[in-house]
Amino acid sequence: MLSVVVDGFFGDTGKGKIVSYLSLADDADIVARGGVGPNAGHTVVYNGKEYKLRQVPSGFVNKKALLLIGAGVLVYPPRFFKEVDMTNTKDRIYMDYQTGIIEDRHVEEEQRSEHLGKKIGSTKTGCGAAMRDRVMRKLKLAKDIDELREYLTDVSLAINEALDKNKVVILEGTQGTFLSLYHGTYPYVTSKDVTASSICADVGVGPKRVDDIILVFKSYVTRVGSGPLENELPIDEAKEKGLFEVATVTGRIRRVAPFNFKYAKRAVMLNSPTQIAITKIDVLFKEDRGKRNFSELSKGAKKFIEEIEDRLNVPVSLISTGPETDAMIDRRRELGII
């Protein structure tokens, strides 16, 4: 059973929360990270503790799950070791032999780059510079780094064999559809494609093996860094509406816009989701905080979800009602999905 979780806007829609929920609810055997690298920031709130993850898959909260990082992903070893420590996952986390390695010189190069800093608004975590070196075939891979020896495995083989045995595998994407190098708002994008197809390629599974693609939208749109954002709200208005957020990795203020059906439709086209997850419904509808049943939702929230289903023609199977992993309305049984 293979599920792929990807973001339909500009990142920061709450993939970390969705993946952590699914890893427990579906008792995942493997949670594997695709996407770019430590430019991502995924937040998990579990057992009263907040984790800000940039390398370790958000499904670590399921202690039984094997945690994998795909060959297409980039790892910055100091950050990786720090998170492995923080999540206490040393005995069950592995990366592919061919996972790309970010070196300090990549980070330093990006820190110096006016183009990435001033124009693009990059996170300057070395991802773009490392991707360039990879394309030029001079990037070091995980198998070249002695300190990573105990963390190496054949990730695509592990995932494909697990699927052969009907095990539960969740793939965690990063960034968001419109930050895709190919399909996003170029040049204000990240250094790779990040749609569902690429997340599969990052870990080495073919598209025919996918059972579910879960496209995550936040109840409003945010964007950090430069580039177009339709119907962007003045920051004061965003604050007034309670939509003010600060970026996980860089601490920058996130730009805000209302939920955007034009973006959402295109994200559906680009990712072919079987399900949609809506996060932060409790930010738009405060009274819905922590609810666990669709029937209990306020009229406004129900109308919002029904409009999404009508206009996008994809079922909204998961509705997040708070930051904690278990603050979730899970409609998959009611909708006949599981």
By the criterion CB under 6 A, which residues form the site for ligand IMP?
11-12, 36, 39-41, 116, 120-123, 125, 127-128, 174-175, 179, 188, 190-191, 224-225
The verdict on 41 binding Mg ion (CB under 5 A) reads yes
Write down the least CB distance from residue 111 to ligand IMP, Å: 12
Q: Which residue has the tokens 């083989």?
A: 157
* Among Mg ion, ligand IMP, none, partner that 212 touches (CB below 5 to 8 angstroms by kind): none
Query: Nearer Cβ to ligand IMP, position 35 or 204?
Result: 35
Query: Nearer Cβ to ligand IMP, position 179 or 215?
Result: 179
Write down the least CB distance from residue 86 to ligand IMP, Å: 18
- Of 12-20, 48-56, 68-76, 99-107, the segment contacting Mg ion by CB under 5 A is 12-20
Query: Which active-site residues does the annotation give?
Result: 12, 42
Name beta bridge partners: 95. Answer: 69, 152
Q: Which residue has the tokens 């930010």?
A: 283
The verdict on 322 binding Mg ion (CB under 5 A) reads no
Q: Which residue is nearest to ligand IMP (CB)?
A: 225
Write down the least CB distance from residue 16 to ligand IMP, Å: 10
The set of residues, in sequence order, having a beta carbon less than 8 Å from that of 259 and lying 6+ positions away, is 217, 218, 219, 220, 221, 304, 308
SS3 content of the chain, % helix, strand, coil (to 5): 40, 20, 40
* Secondary structure of residue 16 in the 3-state scheme: helix
Element (H, E) at 68: strand 66-69
* Among Mg ion, ligand IMP, none, partner that 99 touches (CB below 5 to 8 angstroms by kind): none
Give DSSP secondary structure letters for 85-130. HHHT-GGGEEEETT-EE--HHHHHHHHH-HIIIIII----SSHHHH
For 43, phi and psi rounded to 5 degrees? -105, 130
Rg (CA), the chain: 19
* Among Mg ion, ligand IMP, none, partner that 120 touches (CB below 5 to 8 angstroms by kind): ligand IMP
Query: Nearer Cβ to Mg ion, position 37 or 41?
Result: 41
* Among ligand IMP, Mg ion, none, partner that 225 touches (CB below 5 to 8 angstroms by kind): ligand IMP
- Of 6-14, 70-78, 139-147, 283-291, the segment contacting Mg ion by CB under 5 A is 6-14
* Among Mg ion, ligand IMP, none, partner that 224 touches (CB below 5 to 8 angstroms by kind): ligand IMP
Write down the least CB distance from residue 257 to ligand IMP, Å: 14
First to last CA, the chain: 11
Q: What angle do CA 164, 273, 296 make, to 5 degrees?
A: 110
Write down the least CB distance from residue 12 to Mg ion, Å: 4
Say how many C-beta atoms besides its own lie within 10 A of residue 254's C-beta: 20
* Among ligand IMP, Mg ion, none, partner that 191 touches (CB below 5 to 8 angstroms by kind): ligand IMP
Query: Nearer Cβ to ligand IMP, position 156 or 175?
Result: 175
User: Is the torsion defined by CA of 273, 277, 283, 285 positive or negative?
Assistant: positive
For 261, phi and psi rounded to 5 degrees? -70, -25
The set of residues, in sequence order, having a beta carbon less than 8 Å from that of 236 and lying 6+ positions away, is none
The verdict on 12 binding Mg ion (CB under 5 A) reads yes
Write down the least CB distance from residue 193 to ligand IMP, Å: 12
Tokens of 320: 């997040």
Site for Mg ion in 238-277 (CB under 5 A): 248
The verdict on 109 binding Mg ion (CB under 5 A) reads no
> Which residues lie near Mg ion (CB under 5 A)?
12, 41, 248
